[in-house]
Amino acid sequence: MPERLLVIGGDPGGMAAASQARRRRPDLEIVALEKGRWTSYSACGIPYVVGGTVSGLDQLIARSPPVFRDQFRIDARTEHEAMAIDLDARTVEVRDHAHQRTYRLGFDILHIGTGALPRRPDIPGMNLPFVRGVQTLEDADHLLQMVKAGGMEEVVVVGGGYIGLEMAEAFVMRGGHVTVVTNSPEVMATLDPDMGAMVSEGMRGERIEVRCGEAVIGFEDGIVHTEKGDLPADLVVLGLGVEPNSKLAAEAGVATGVRNAIAVDRRQRTPVDGVWAAGDCCESFHRIADRQVYVALGTVANKQGRVAGVNIGGGYATFPGVVGTAITKLCSLEVGRTGLTEREALAAGFQYEVVKVESTTRAGYYPGAAPITTKLLAEKRSGRLLGAQIVGREGAAKRIDVLATALTAGMTVEDITALDLSYAPPFSPVWDPVLIAARKAAERIEASR
């Protein structure tokens, strides 16, 4: 009998692993369980479908179950939910929702890619049906039906995380009146507040009501109660971030670490022999903070899934870790970040210098030259880059990749000033904004020595 790889979770953390394992081990039997109706989709694309920028949910699906079956010989079972894992018996209890039956499936190798769940703090009314998370295509499908049915005039986004803000834009594009409420000082708490303030301000400029420093204290049908009053709401979208969907693994005895994410090593092995994990359900190594962290990003899930699959297939691969890079587009606003924020740098024990520089994305005289604000953190004395944040308009945010690369290479801000970055008037001022910021940071370090 062939060895069986059982994969729990039909999105990238699971399916990238299944595909890689298949390539390297044609002999494996591979079964993948997905509790929802869809496999291998881009959850990051959901706001663009709900907003109407992308024409349909089907466009987000990279590979459907028939593709997995026919091209990869992977038995991808949708609407099959893993209910419990028995690590001693090496079996998983599976609920087949379509046929209302439960069965057990044995495994030789288990790979867990159960993803994340929207955070739902313990607030009265949190589980009312008009309070929705946005995580799966089922969530997206539901919101899209609501949009099409009309009557979604008042939308309240609770929290200032990426997905919440992207959904705010989506509903504005659908003609709704959108209010974002967060008890943080500014939206997007993954930025420093001074940079977050630019995002709050930018969103206000796009007809989104942004209420910061205001805690939500409860929900009633049609109403969001905050500490400062009531807001009418046809729909509430949760944007409070996510937490690892690790309960199944934890209940089976698989160890969890940071923020209850499944503990994995750099090859994506859990501490249990023959059990692997990847994606939003597990930890990631942070190369700058030098420790395990929890990040839930599609790009990380894909990379970790691939690493797990290579290793399961008998190859050798390690997840290189993250440096904290993220990017988003909100209406005409672009936001990028990498490395450590001030708060994160302090928590990690670093002392640093900060600079913040205003520039333009193109030569000042070239049409479409847009504002870009670049903030850099450099370690005191050494001048090593610790983190960067960018807020700007068209053409601003992807520059964060240069800084992510510099961070990975351990460059100092002085090293960055020496980079031979490309210049032509349609793309950059003669001194790229990254270079201007690095120069200012290098001067600051020099002066403080």
- 42 lies in the binding site for a second copy (CB under 8 A): yes
**x-marked contacts with a second copy along 298-327 as a string, rule CB under 8 A:** xx--x-----------------xxxxxxxx
The contacts of residue 275 (CB under 8 Å, 6+ apart) are 87, 109, 110, 111, 112, 254, 269
Query: How far is 109 from 364, CA to CA, in rounded Å?
Result: 58
3-state secondary structure of 357: strand
CA angle 323, 327, 329 (to 5 degrees): 175
Interaction between residue 287 and a second copy (CB under 8 A): yes
In the range 328-347, which residues lie near a second copy by CB under 8 A? 328-329, 336, 338
Stretch 359-378 residues interacting with a second copy (CB under 8 A): 363, 365-367
Place of tokens 């905050």: 226
Q: How far is the CB of 424 from a second copy (least distance, A)?
A: 5
d(CA 148, CA 142): 10
Per DSSP bridges, beta strands 29-34 and 74-78 are parallel
**Helix ranges (DSSP H) in 280-432:** 298-312, 342-347, 400-408, 413-417
Which of 146, 402, 437, 438 contacts a second copy by CB under 8 A?
A: 402
Contact residue for a second copy among 75, 243, 344, 432 (CB under 8 A): 432
Q: Binding a second copy by CB under 8 A: which of 18, 28, 60, 436?
A: 60
Choosing from 29, 54, 90, 215, the residue that interacts with a second copy (CB under 8 A) is 54
Q: What is the distance between the alpha carbons of residues 94 and 103, in angstroms, rounded to a whole number?
A: 5
Residue pair 375/356 in contact by the 8 Å Cβ criterion: yes
Q: Which of 44, 212, 281, 331 is catalytic?
A: 44
Q: Is 399 in the site for a second copy (CB under 8 A)?
A: yes
CA distance 192 to 201: 14
**Region from 82-90, 110-118, 270-278, 416-424 binding a second copy, contact rule CB under 8 A:** 416-424
Residue matched to tokens 């409860």: 218
Verify whether residue 331 is a known catalytic residue: no
Footprint of a second copy (CB under 8 A): 12, 42, 44-45, 48, 53-54, 59-60, 287, 297-299, 302, 320-329, 336, 338, 363, 365-367, 395, 397-402, 404-406, 408-409, 411, 415, 417-428, 430-432, 434
Catalytic residue set:
44
